Amino acid sequence: MPPFKKILIANRGEIACRIMRTTKRLGIATVAVYSEADADARHVREADEAIAIGPAPSAQSYLDVRKIVAACRTSGAQAVHPGYGFLSENPALPRALAKAGITFIGPDPAAMAAMGDKIAAKRIAVKAGVPTVPGELGVIKDAKAAIAVARRIKYPVMLKAAAGGGGKGMRIATSDAELIEAFQRASGEAKTAFGDARLFLEKFIEEPRHIEIQVLGDRRGNVVHLFERECSIQRRHQKVIEEAPSPFLDAKTRARMGAAAVALAKAAKYSSAGTVEFIVDKKRNFYFLEMNTRLQVEHPVTELVTGLDLVELMIRIAAGEKLPFTQKDLKLAGSAIEARVYAEDPRHGFLPSAGRLVRYAEPVGDGVRVDGGVYEGAEIPIFYDPMIAKVAAHATRRDAAATRLAQALDGFVVIGIAHNVDFLAAILRSPRFRAGKLSTDFVAHEFPAGFDGTKPDRAESELAALAAAAAQTLATPGSAPQSLCVMIGRDDYPVVARRLADGVSLTRNRRQQILRTEWQPGQPAMHIQLGKSAATFRIERRGLFWRLARGGASFEAMVVPCYATALLRRLKPKPPPARSRHLLSPMPGLLVSIAIDAGQEVKAGEPLAVVEAMKMENVLRAERDGRIARIVAKPGDSLAVDQLILEFE
């Protein structure tokens, strides 16, 4: 018999869909809740039943405890799984559910309140003998108080939201001036994301690693750890790639960190799944950061290396069952790496993206797992976290898992919105990542000027040229040999191509090669076999061009008869329209504030406006000195991409 007959999932997106996979396997009926923006969402479609809970803003839907409880009563759900984010770390939800006689699939609200509050958690850690980062254990009431603490413990410092995580409400400051602005931004984000603007401050440890321990406790006092996850690759304090185990820890440090995490959980009388986060310096000294009293986004890598289902264990613990194993029963098996696919544009400062998924295809393959929450044709709304899916790969060795994940990303098709797939692939192929030399400044160090794609070597460009020639041949009626010239940038690749039953014959520099592929025109991914090597390209036709992408690099390939190349080189590219006088919204979002007035003089780099999208505040700054001619938009306006906000003289 399953522990419950019906469970309501108080969440959306990929985590709601992932929870449903386990509940369906256990024979438990599922209830989805949804806002007006999510009426056609994937989690709504996959649930056994679904209940509308209000308008698109999360404060009026997913964050409304009363509506969640009411949905349980309407549906007859016996228990609620909160997923992560939203109400997952808010004690008000389990307390309200308990009053209604409904089981909360998570920790006791007292433990959640103690450990979910970062300040209270640090105090418990100190009492439990767990090392902590130097800082202020109380709430920082304003920027002036923050400056006083920062001067005492010395810059750089980090502000953090007391009520949540996930990179929201976090800012680093290296001076008083930076701290004043950081306090305003961090408190605003914390209020938006968690309904709680409280902040605390601690010393920022330079060149750190972010390593966390997964813990699991039942309601009888038994607690174990499920080893560690390395989460050092981050952008704006948001994890990007995670893996288990860490390539940095030795067995002794792993055991010490695990024991510290278990001691902390026991001190808090913690049950269910939780994560104890540590910051680790280059000498393997570790310091407690915070505890997340919920299921983590990156839990799949732990499941892959332990063979456990954390969602099932959470459900069984909530039903009163005892942990079915002890610490000595748990073993690590192989290596797993996960990449988070976001709706954001790495080539334009990682600005959030929203819109319709015109094409969408998740990768498949041995050892590859995808936790997705969307489908082809779905809308990515501006109101919620920009995550599209998580892709994880498991193998016996770390290098094999990294290669497997990189290949999977090459075949991940997302068309219609901007996304970070190329950025993720570039990280996985970087020598520093392959060597396991990770730290939380990895992205800033590897991409100091931002990300604009990786530069392919000659061999990669030639491979892309052959793939483009094959695509052109397969897309052209007839089987006679064609003399083609592939133009990529300023380089030409003359090829004689002929269609075969299972691919294309390609002759270049008097050398014939057989490119095997099952690709057909219109398919968004092209897997090729060329001799002993294999590769996958995301491929799309754009007029005269084929656009191919692989390994973080993009190729614009024009395939034409060779006599046409000289003529084409005479064409001069059309310059982009001048927009230096206009401040346009770089993303769909809500205009939170305007920092200047019409007629005001501004300097380059000065803040002009703040646009909120996908739970993050984005500061738009002046690109040059000038005077404001007029302000077109007003705070509270919903902005579209490229909508005019203000004009310069």
Residue 296: CB partners within 8 Å, gap ≥ 6?
84, 212, 214, 229, 275
Residue 428 in tokens: 């996985």
Q: Are 250 and 262 in contact (CB under 8 A)?
A: no
Other Cβ atoms less than 10 A from the Cβ of 219: the count is 17
Cα 429 from Cα 550, distance rounded (Å): 11
Q: Are strands 553-561 and 503-508 parallel, antiparallel or unpaired?
A: unpaired
CA–chain centroid gap for 554, Å, is: 21
Q: Are strands 616-621 and 644-648 parallel, antiparallel or unpaired?
A: unpaired
Residues belonging to the chain: 649
- Residue 390 φ/ψ, nearest 5 degrees: -120, 135
Alpha helices, H only, 195-226: none
Helices and strands: H and E segment counts in the chain: 17, 39
Cα 585 from Cα 591, distance rounded (Å): 9
State the number of CA atoms in the 13 A half-sphere of 97 facing the CB.
Answer: 31
Residue 267: CB partners within 8 Å, gap ≥ 6?
124, 127, 128
The b-or-e profile of 314-345 (16+ CB within 10 A means b, else e) is bbbbbeeeebeeeeeebeeebbbbbbbbbbbb
Single out the residue of 533, 539, 535 nearest to residue 474, CA to CA: 539
What is the distance between the terminal CA atoms of the chain, rounded to a whole angstrom? 72
Single out the residue of 5, 3, 56 nearest to residue 28, CA to CA: 5
- Residue of 212, 228, 242, 290 marked active site: 290
Q: Are 269 and 111 in contact (CB under 8 A)?
A: yes
Residue 610 in tokens: 């703040």
Partners of 211 in the β-ladder:
230, 278
Cα 417 from Cα 72, distance rounded (Å): 35
The DSSP secondary structure of 557-575, one letter per residue, reads EEEEEGGGHHHHHTPPPPP
Cα 69 from Cα 95, distance rounded (Å): 11
Residue 7 in tokens: 């469970």
Alpha-carbon separation of residue 173 from 183, 199, 281, 603 (angstroms): 9, 14, 20, 21
The b-or-e profile of 557-579 (16+ CB within 10 A means b, else e) is bbbeeeeeeeeeeeeeeeeeeee
Residue 33 in tokens: 């809740």
Cα 500 from Cα 474, distance rounded (Å): 9
Single out the residue of 164, 149, 193, 189 nearest to residue 290, CA to CA: 164
Give the max Cα distance, the chain: 79
Single-letter residue type at 477:
P
Alpha-carbon separation of residue 245 from 226, 287, 304 (angstroms): 10, 18, 11
290 annotated active-site: yes
Q: Are strands 638-639 and 355-356 parallel, antiparallel or unpaired?
A: unpaired
Residues identified as active-site: 290
